Every structure is written in structure tokens, then in C-alpha cells.
Chains A and B, each alone.
Chain A
Amino acid sequence: MDNINIMNRFLGSIGFSVLAFCTTIGRIMIFACRAISHIFRPPYYGREVLTQFMQIGFYSLPVVGLTALFTGAALALQIYSGGARFSAESVVPSIVAIGMVRELGPVLGGLMVAGRVSSSIAAELGTMRVTEQIDALVTLSTNPMKYLIVPRLLAATFAMPILVAVGDTIGILGGYLVGTGRLGFNSTNYLKNTIDFMEIGDVTSGLAKAAVFGFIIALMGCYHGYNSGRGAQGVGRATINAVVSASVMILAANYILTEVFF
């Protein structure tokens, strides 16, 4: 009898977790659909979009740039080391470029921006929720979806491809510096190999991924912040959930998009 009870409780807890997960996914989908529907309906808050574009895009440049620089440099060393085993050292420039543009630039840039931006959005909106600023917006005849959520979604979706394009360039530069300075590549040959083997599809697929990641980053920050629990603990939990869920969703979306662009 005890064993049956334990088994029932175990299965019950699994069922509860699955239902809770599905409920959260459903809520996020409804939230996203509501937000998207507000993009196309006035009033529009252009100034807010611009402010968020600066916050999300411009101020994330250092972190994305540094991540890309060191990743490109390390990638060049790793590919050289691996390529040397079958006399294919010459592939370093092209693999660094393609690896950065198609995969590492968008994914690592996305994860870094998720850490910086999702947390900041969730903490800001969570604090606004706790201090009744969101309720105050409603009483001042301003729809929080339009004023708070839509500008952040638009700004992140458009800023991420630009950030990733800059990050890709810096990452390739990191590979170039290591390739020419440490691995003995000729500067002209390195640049020629980088450009010759790269296709336009490599760049566009990476930038498309970046736009999707930007949307995910802002959506997770906004969803968790907007629905934050009470008090400092509620805001803290919202921040953690925003970063974790944005990071996991970026990795999952990366696989799906890679399959699409494969």
C-alpha cells in the first residue's frame, strides 16, 4: 500500500511539473501574441524604441565585442591545432570566419546579451510592478504593453543583428591577429581566404538567428518582469528566470534555425 502511495505521489509530481511547464509555455505564447498585436496598432512610442535601442544595442557593444574577439582568437588556435593533424592548417581563416558568422557570433553574442539585457529588463519591469508603476501607467491611460513591452521587443529584435554583425567582424579580427601574429599566416592570404570561402548565405543565416535571439531575449525579460512576484524576492526570481529561460530558448532556437538553414 505504501509503495502504491509513493508511486502515486511520484507520478503526480511528474504530472504536476509537466502541466506547470505547459501552462508557462502557453502564457508566454499568449503574452508574445498580445505584444506582437500591439506592434501594429497605434499609439506608437518611437522615442521609447530609440531609448531602448541605445540601452540594448549600443551599451551591449563592449561585452559582445570582447566576447567575439577572444572567441575568434581561441578558435584560430584550436582549428590550427586540429588542422595540423591532417596538414590542413590553411583552412584556419575560412573556418574561423564561417564558424563565427554562422554559429559562434550569434549564439555567444545572444547568450552574453541575454545575461545583460534579459536580467536588466526583468529587474526594471519587476520593480515597476512591485512599486505599482505599471498600475500607475494604466490609470494614466497608457497601455503598458505598448509603452513598456513593444519598444523593448522591437529594439532587441533590430539591435541584435547589428550587434552580431559587429561581433562577427571583431571575432574574425581576433582570428586574424592570432593567425598573422602567432601562427605565421601571411596577412593578405589570410584575408583572401576569409573572404573567398564565405558565402552571403552564411552571413544572412547568422543575422536571421540574431534577430530571433533578440526577440527571445526581450520577450523573456519582459514576460518574467511584467509578471514578477511581490517584493525583492519576487523581482530576484523574475531576473533569474528571465536569464535562464532566455539562454535555454536561444540554444533550442539555434538548433531549430540551424536545421532550417542547413
Chain B
Amino acid sequence: MTGTGVKGTRRTGGLNGRLLGLYRNRALYLLILPAIILFFLFTYIPMYGMVIAFTDFKPALGILGSKWVGLQNFRQYFASYMFTNTIRNTLVISLYTIAITFPLPIVIALMCNQMYAQRFKKTFQVTTYLPHFISTVVMCGMIILFLSPSVGMIPKMLSAFGVKIPNLIGTPKAFSSIYAWSEAWQHVGWDSIMYIAALSSISPELYEAATVDGANKWQRMLRIDIPLLLPTATILFILRSGSVMSVGFEKVYLLQNSLNMSASETISTYVYKMGLISNQYSLSAAISLFNNVINFALLVVVNFISGKLGDTTVF
């Protein structure tokens, strides 16, 4: 079924030209048809399915058959004590994590860029990327094992120095720290790749000129590397801000236990529990829609501010 129609790259305008173009490339449309269908079924239909947030959804009645209740589900969420709780926990965990995992990859990239011992540099990179490939389940398993009171590696090690720590995994206050620092351990190396790539495109002449002018390594880093990383950092920051309100469900859910629940119930775990465990479909959909809207709004706002300050934007 190779194209047997008219060939040539001459652009023809107008409706006929378009139809001709459609016909000429019909094989291409055929190739992407599976993706279009899959995306439609499992991504676009669920978008429409969000309507259930405004209904009292009963699976037997279907989306259109269920009773329309307007904003009642949202009101129910806003009025419940879980509202402030989930939002606060989500924000605390999320902002804490960003505060650590956003700057660290930049630091690692800057360090890499200053290493002239190529072998060492390579080893350093391979090593710091490694934990990225540990699965979330295993990561959480390790955290729980390492922190388990009295027998875990970390309490044991600290007690060798005379420091006694409580059962951290059961301490609500410690939850965000555990989450953020383990996240850093696992991903900062990997996240630095983008910055390392950006740095490697800096022309060596720039450094040479600076060296001739008497700049030492520290000054070269401050005056050359950091300013040149800013655009990349800004883009990544904007994209990151679009997910401030969605902390990774998997990890929080796995680290959660009855002791730390007051600090670990986030919006996404609550959506999961409301929806699939208590079967309150409409309420759950309402919460996740609310979350979605806030995320999107944050993305737009940060993008706008960044556009005003510098001129790096995503859109």
C-alpha cells in the first residue's frame, strides 16, 4: 500500500490541495491511527468522565443518567477536616522536596564541570545516576528497613555515636524530611544530566579568556557557569511548579502508616482512598479535578511571572 498518488513536494494550497495532501499521506495517518484511538479511549474519554465530579455518580445509571448536583462534591471536600489536612501535607512535602531536589542537581552539574580528571568524573556520574533505577517499592522498603527502630541500620549507626533517635517512620514530623531526602538520594544525580549537557555546550574559550583575566575556578563558576545555566533552570522550574500540588502517590502511599498518617495523607492518596477503597467516585473525582485545576493555574502563573522577569517561558 505504498503511496501511488501524485508525488512531489510542491505545496498546493486550498481545500483541494489539502485533500490531496491527506490522500497522498494516507499511509502515515494509518500508521498513527492506533495511537490516536488509544489516546482517545484512555485519555480523552476520562477527561470527559470528569463530569462525574458534578454528579452523584452511580455506575449503574451511567454518567448522563446520574443526578446532577453541581458543586456539592466540592463543597463536601472543602468542608471536611481532610481538606486543610491534605492540602497542608501536600504542600509541605512538595515544597520541601523542591527546595532540596531543585538546587542539588545544579550543584552536581557545576561540580562535574569542574572536574578535569576524566576518569573520576565518569565514575562520579555513573555512581550518582545509579539509585535512579531503584524502583519506588524497593526504595520504600529500604527506607523502612533502614529506619526500623532498634534494628535498622541508621539507628544502629547513630547509636554508635551516642545519638538516640525515635522511630522516625512513625513520627509525623519526620515524614516530609524522610520523603524529601530519600528523593534527593535517589534522583539528584540523574536530574543533573540536563544541566551537565547545558554546561558542556559552553565554549572553552570563555573559560580561557576568564583565566587569562585572572579569574580563579570559583569565580569562573560564579560568573560563567551559573548565568549560563539559568535558562535551563528556569524552564525546569516552571515545569516543576505545575506539579507542586501532586506529590508522587506511590512513594507517599508506601511510606504511609497509621502512626504518621496525620502528616502523610496527601491529596493523591486521599483521592485513591476515597475513590477506590470507599467507592465515593464523585467525591474523589471532584478532589482530583480541583487539584488538576490548581496545578494548571500554578503552571500558568509561574510561567507568566517568569516571562515578566526574564523571557524564558514554556509556552
Q: Do A and B come from one complex?
A: no
Residues of B near any A CB (own CB < 8 A): none
